[in-house]
């Protein structure tokens, strides 16, 4: 049994290594986004600054492990076996949960996940102990519910406070600087830089460094007694320094953003991320106590020793810091999570990651009504003054940036200040929630949520906030279920959980890599949006549009062949897969249309005006083709699921002739598009006409069979008839698409040239 417990401790540390990597991937969104989104420096420099902050914060942290020792449960009432089950369940649940959120690109709270996993597992074990115990202990004697309650309160406080302050402070900052901020920096930048730098230093002292090794009680007491003196001295010093740097032609705003990035990275590593090694370290301390004093009675040896403070060896902290730095630099999932927040706060239009929801539509409608009322009661002169200060046409951003340096500075400084003030006032503000909601508030104040994007971005914010609450619920329930299985299943369930965790991790990372390959086109899309050269944008746009259309038509051709073959073979599984695939492509076509519309804005006015008609016609044709495919799949799937009669053999030859002709049409069309050669468009359109004529002949004959044929075959023949009609409509859509495709690329194409010869149906 002791060997088993030693293996569990080793496995906990192995999971902790992966957990640190996953945690950094998720929490990197908080301290990287402002610097990346505002292009304060190259990505390499930003990562260097953040890495230094992460390493220092982790390596010098101390006293942050107590939450796993006695922050949630009363260890003097739990046996070593109970705690082993709890710690195993917590680590397994935490890794799976955070990896799922990272793969989905959704930021979540590592603190909330850890606390609620501990609470859920401890709660289930406490119930089991109460059911079997006659000592008279109550649930309050076994659990410390105050910590969990403080986290729940922190969620509500963080969301509301951070969003309101972010909106107000950014609104005032924009009034002072406007979007054309460079013309108003002469004397204001020194004071602004002094305020920001002082807030960052205060944040580092109160939050980022409060638990570092050199922060003895005497040092903390001196800082507390001389807080205002420190703030005043820092303000005076940094005001003069920032003004001097401005005179020396140094971009002070970039300095502020990088300083804020360092401060937040250090605070997150020292106060949040290092919690990930709290559970395995507590498991190690528990095992050492049990091995020395337990005498082999794992279920009877109580763990009162965990009530003492933790003394984490330095090499554990240094090792955690190295792992986090490596994960930060190499993690692809960290960049995916960052894209979520940057996308929701982007000043310019871009591809929206979220759809539309009913609550978002209502909020936008109510907001528009409120704004209309405010405008009606505001004097015209005041409105004109505000419009000049918030003229987004004057926005100064580096190429490829999502927002300017003013907003990037406010994001970091305000988040740090709110966290520091909340900590000093004993308010349980969540660092994750504060940084995210501040960024959303500043983007709202900057009018980044326009009428064309507001409903999508509000849906995104609601989704992220909902994800936070979902984290708590899933963490609580998941850890509780796993610990219950371990309690009754013993070592076999522990080993099964270990194997399942490894399998899920491998599967999740494999799926993420596959999804990353599918999104390679994003690079070209972002290149088009970031270019200001209209001459360069046109060929890039054609390449991007051609690639997305080829991808859809490839799927369409494969789906048609698969569905029609499955209809003959009674293959309901293939029809079900096709149904899910075609439903997914409905959203993807909408997304492609939205993206391409944004790209059209980068073209010259004449080109965009000339080509937009053919672009929208081509897109509508693709949607029509998709609708026909879904109708074909729907009627075939319903027929096969009901186990009705298959298509009679006498119709199979005609059926195969149509299937083959449509398959050849798709292949020829894709070959033409891959070569970007529109000279064969008229031949392909003639091919479409021949297929339509052929289908007309076949279903005219089918009408006669329906009058005179076997009554038992009526059901399948009506399905066959609908299939032919939908196929004919699909071919008509392809014919229209070919004309739109040619007109997009060749202004001289008319579609009325004489064609010699015919293309025989295969």
The conformation of residue 570, written as its DSSP 8-state character, comes to: T
Which residues touch 643 (CB under 8 Å, ≥6 apart)? 570
Q: Is 407 helix (H, G, I), strand (E, B) or coil?
A: helix
Which residue intervals of 1-144 are DSSP H helices? 2-38, 43-59, 66, 80-104, 110-132, 139-142
Lowest mean pLDDT among 158-167, 239-248, 552-561, 703-712: 703-712
- Indicate if the alpha-carbon torsion angle 235, 237, 243, 246 is positive or negative: negative
Once rounded to an integer, what is the mean pLDDT over residues 377-393? 84
How confident is residue 754, by pLDDT bands cut at 50, 70 and 90?
very low
- 681: how many CB neighbours lie within 10 A of its CB? 22
* Tokens found for residue 423: 């900590």
Of 694, 720, 717, the residue nearest 705 (C-alpha) = 717
Question: How far apart are alpha carbons 139 and 137 in whole angstroms?
Answer: 7
Q: What pLDDT is stored for residue 629 in this prediction?
A: 95
How confident is residue 41, by pLDDT bands cut at 50, 70 and 90?
confident
| Bridge partners (DSSP) listed for residue 143 | 73
Q: What pLDDT is stored for residue 332 in this prediction?
A: 64
Question: How far apart are alpha carbons 143 and 480 in whole angstroms?
Answer: 14
Helices (H) and strands (E) in the chain — how many of each? 27, 0
**What are the angstrom distances between the C-alpha of 397 and each of 173, 182, 403, 404, 532?**
16, 11, 6, 5, 13
Of 331, 291, 473, the residue nearest 47 (C-alpha) = 331
CATH 1.20.58.220 intervals, the chain? 521-745
Which residue intervals of 378-430 are DSSP H helices? 380-389, 405-424
**What are the angstrom distances between the C-alpha of 708 and each of 439, 647, 653, 703, 720?**
71, 17, 20, 9, 16
Instruction: Give the DSSP H/E element, type plus range, for residue 716.
Output: helix 714-745
- Cβ-contact 579, 698 below 8 angstroms: no
- Indicate if the alpha-carbon torsion angle 578, 579, 584, 587 is positive or negative: positive
Q: Is 138 helix (H, G, I), strand (E, B) or coil?
A: coil
Average pLDDT of every residue of the chain: 80
401 compared with 521, residue with greater pLDDT: 401
Q: What pLDDT is stored for residue 627 in this prediction?
A: 95
Question: How far apart are alpha carbons 85 and 484 in whole angstroms?
Answer: 9
How confident is residue 760, by pLDDT bands cut at 50, 70 and 90?
very low
Question: How far apart are alpha carbons 190 and 242 in whole angstroms?
Answer: 5
- Cβ-contact 442, 83 below 8 angstroms: no
CATH superfamily entry for domain 521-745: Phosphate transport system protein phou homolog 2; domain 2 (1.20.58.220)
Question: How far apart are alpha carbons 440 and 453 in whole angstroms?
Answer: 13
Q: What pLDDT is stored for residue 757 in this prediction?
A: 36
- Cβ-contact 456, 359 below 8 angstroms: no
The conformation of residue 68, written as its DSSP 8-state character, comes to: I
**C-alpha neighbours within 13 Å on the C-beta side of residue 129:** 27
- Cβ-contact 57, 267 below 8 angstroms: yes
- Cβ-contact 629, 556 below 8 angstroms: yes
| Bridge partners (DSSP) listed for residue 79 | 302
Largest distance between two CA atoms of the chain? 101
Q: What pLDDT is stored for residue 759 in this prediction?
A: 37
Using a pLDDT cut of 70, give the percent of the chain over it: 81
Look at residue 394 and tell me whether its pLDDT is greater than 50. Answer: yes
Q: What pLDDT is stored for residue 348 in this prediction?
A: 63
Q: What pLDDT is stored for residue 558 in this prediction?
A: 94
Residue with tokens 């999508």: 456
* Tokens found for residue 701: 């004959």
Q: If you average pLDDT over each of 227-231, 505-509, 538-542, 630-634, which comes out highest?
A: 630-634
Once rounded to an integer, what is the mean pLDDT over residues 152-181? 83
Look at residue 107 and tell me whether its pLDDT is greater than 80. Answer: no
The conformation of residue 207, written as its DSSP 8-state character, comes to: I
Question: How far apart are alpha carbons 153 and 161 in whole angstroms?
Answer: 12
* Tokens found for residue 586: 């409905």
Whole-prediction pTM: 0.68
Look at residue 282 and tell me whether its pLDDT is greater than 60. Answer: yes
Q: What pLDDT is stored for residue 3 in this prediction?
A: 77
Q: Is 521 exposed, middle or buried (0-12, 13-18, 19+ CB in 10 A)?
A: middle
Once rounded to an integer, what is the mean pLDDT over residues 56-71? 68
Question: How far apart are alpha carbons 344 and 365 in whole angstroms?
Answer: 19
Q: What pLDDT is stored for residue 606 in this prediction?
A: 80
How confident is residue 731, by pLDDT bands cut at 50, 70 and 90?
very high
Instruction: Give the DSSP H/E element, type plus range, for residue 699.
Output: helix 681-708
Look at residue 475 and tell me whether its pLDDT is greater than 60. Answer: yes
Question: How far apart are alpha carbons 265 and 276 in whole angstroms?
Answer: 16
How confident is residue 689, by pLDDT bands cut at 50, 70 and 90?
very high
Please report, to the nearest 10 degrees, the dihedral formed by the alpha carbons of residues 287, 291, 293, 297 taken in order. 90
How confident is residue 708, by pLDDT bands cut at 50, 70 and 90?
low
- Cβ-contact 375, 383 below 8 angstroms: yes
Q: Calculate Rg over the CA atoms of the chain.
A: 32
Question: How far apart are alpha carbons 758 and 752 in whole angstroms?
Answer: 16
Please report, to the nearest 10 degrees, the dihedral formed by the alpha carbons of residues 91, 92, 97, 102 taken in order. 80
Q: What pLDDT is stored for residue 340 in this prediction?
A: 61
| Bridge partners (DSSP) listed for residue 73 | 143
Once rounded to an integer, what is the mean pLDDT over residues 322-336? 73
Once rounded to an integer, what is the mean pLDDT over residues 52-66? 71
């Amino acid at each position: 049994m002791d060997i088993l417990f030693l293996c569990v401790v080793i496995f906990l540390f192995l999971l902790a290594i992966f957990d640190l990597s996953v945690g950094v991937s998720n929490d990197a969104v908080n301290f990287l986004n402002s610097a990346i989104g505002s292009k304060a420096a190259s990505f390499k420099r930003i990562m260097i600054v953040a890495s230094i902050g992460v390493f220092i914060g982790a390596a010098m942290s101390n006293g942050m492990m107590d939450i796993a020792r006695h922050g949630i449960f009363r260890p003097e009432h739990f046996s070593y076996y109970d705690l082993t089950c709890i710690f195993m369940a917590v680590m397994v649940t935490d890794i799976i949960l955070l990896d799922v959120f990272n793969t989905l690109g959704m930021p979540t709270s590592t603190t909330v996940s850890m606390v609620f996993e501990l609470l859920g597992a401890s709660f289930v074990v406490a119930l089991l102990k109460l059911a079997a115990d006659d000592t008279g202990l109550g649930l309050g004697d076994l659990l410390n519910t105050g910590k969990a309650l403080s986290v729940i309160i922190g969620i509500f406080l963080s969301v509301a406070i951070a969003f309101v302050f972010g909106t107000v402070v950014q609104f005032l900052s924009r009034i002072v600087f406007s979007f054309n901020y460079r013309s108003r920096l002469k004397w204001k930048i020194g004071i602004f830089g002094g305020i920001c730098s002082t807030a960052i230093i205060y944040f580092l002292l109160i939050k980022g460094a409060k638990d570092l090794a050199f922060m003895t009680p005497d040092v903390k007491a001196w800082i507390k007694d001389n807080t205002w003196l420190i703030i005043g001295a820092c303000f005076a010093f940094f005001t003069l320094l920032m003004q001097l740097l401005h005179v020396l032609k140094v971009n002070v705003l970039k300095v502020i953003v990088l300083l804020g990035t360092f401060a937040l990275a250090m605070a997150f590593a020292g106060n949040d991320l290092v919690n990930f090694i709290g559970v395995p370290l507590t498991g190690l301390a528990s095992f050492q106590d049990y091995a020395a004093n337990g005498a082999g009675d794992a279920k009877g040896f109580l763990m009162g020793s965990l009530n003492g403070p933790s003394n984490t060896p330095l090499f554990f902290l240094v090792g955690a810091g190295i792992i986090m730095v490596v994960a930060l630099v190499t993690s692809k999932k960290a960049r995916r999570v960052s894209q979520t927040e940057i996308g929701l706060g982007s000043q310019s239009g871009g591809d929206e990651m979220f759809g539309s929801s009913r609550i978002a539509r209502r909020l936008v409608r109510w907001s528009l009504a409120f704004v209309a009322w405010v405008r009606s009661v505001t004097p015209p002169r005041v409105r004109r003054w505000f419009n000049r200060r918030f003229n987004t046409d004057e926005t100064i951003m580096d190429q490829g940036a999502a927002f300017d340096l003013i907003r990037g500075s406010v994001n970091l400084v305000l988040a740090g200040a709110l966290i520091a003030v909340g900590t000093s006032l004993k308010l349980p503000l969540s660092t994750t929630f504060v940084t995210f909601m501040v960024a959303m508030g500043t983007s709202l104040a900057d009018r980044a949520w326009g009428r064309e994007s507001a409903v999508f971005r509000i849906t995104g914010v609601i989704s992220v906030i909902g994800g936070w609450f979902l984290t708590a619920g899933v963490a609580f329930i998941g850890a509780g279920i796993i610990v219950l299985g371990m309690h009754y299943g013993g070592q076999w369930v522990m080993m099964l959980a270990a194997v399942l965790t490894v399998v899920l991790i491998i599967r999740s990372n494999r799926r993420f890599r596959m999804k990353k390959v599918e999104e390679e086109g994003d690079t070209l899309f972002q290149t088009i949006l970031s270019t200001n050269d209209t001459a360069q944008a046109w060929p890039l746009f054609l390449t991007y549009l051609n690639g997305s259309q080829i991808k859809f038509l490839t799927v369409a051709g494969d789906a048609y062949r698969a569905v029609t073959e499955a209809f003959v073979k009674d293959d309901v599984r293939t029809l079900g897969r096709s149904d899910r695939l075609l439903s997914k492509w409905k959203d993807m076509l909408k997304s492609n249309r939205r993206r391409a519309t944004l790209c059209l804005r980068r073209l010259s006015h004449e080109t965009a005006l000339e080509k937009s008609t053919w672009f929208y016609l081509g897109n509508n044709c693709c949607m029509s083709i998709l609708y026909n495919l879904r109708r074909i799949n729907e009627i075939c799937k319903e027929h096969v699921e009901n186990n009705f009669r298959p298509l009679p053999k006498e119709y199979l030859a005609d059926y195969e002739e149509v299937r083959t002709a449509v398959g050849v049409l798709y292949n020829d069309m894709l070959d033409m598009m891959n070569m970007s050669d529109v000279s064969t468009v008229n031949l392909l359109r003639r091919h479409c006409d021949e297929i339509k004529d052929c289908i007309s002949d076949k279903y005219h004959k089918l009408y006669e069979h329906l009058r005179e044929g076997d009554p038992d075959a009526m059901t399948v023949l009506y399905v066959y008839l609908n299939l032919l009609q939908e196929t004919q409509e699909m071919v008509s859509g392809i014919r229209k698409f070919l004309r739109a495709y040619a007109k997009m690329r060749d202004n001289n194409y008319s579609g009325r040239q004489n064609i010699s010869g015919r293309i025989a149906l295969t």
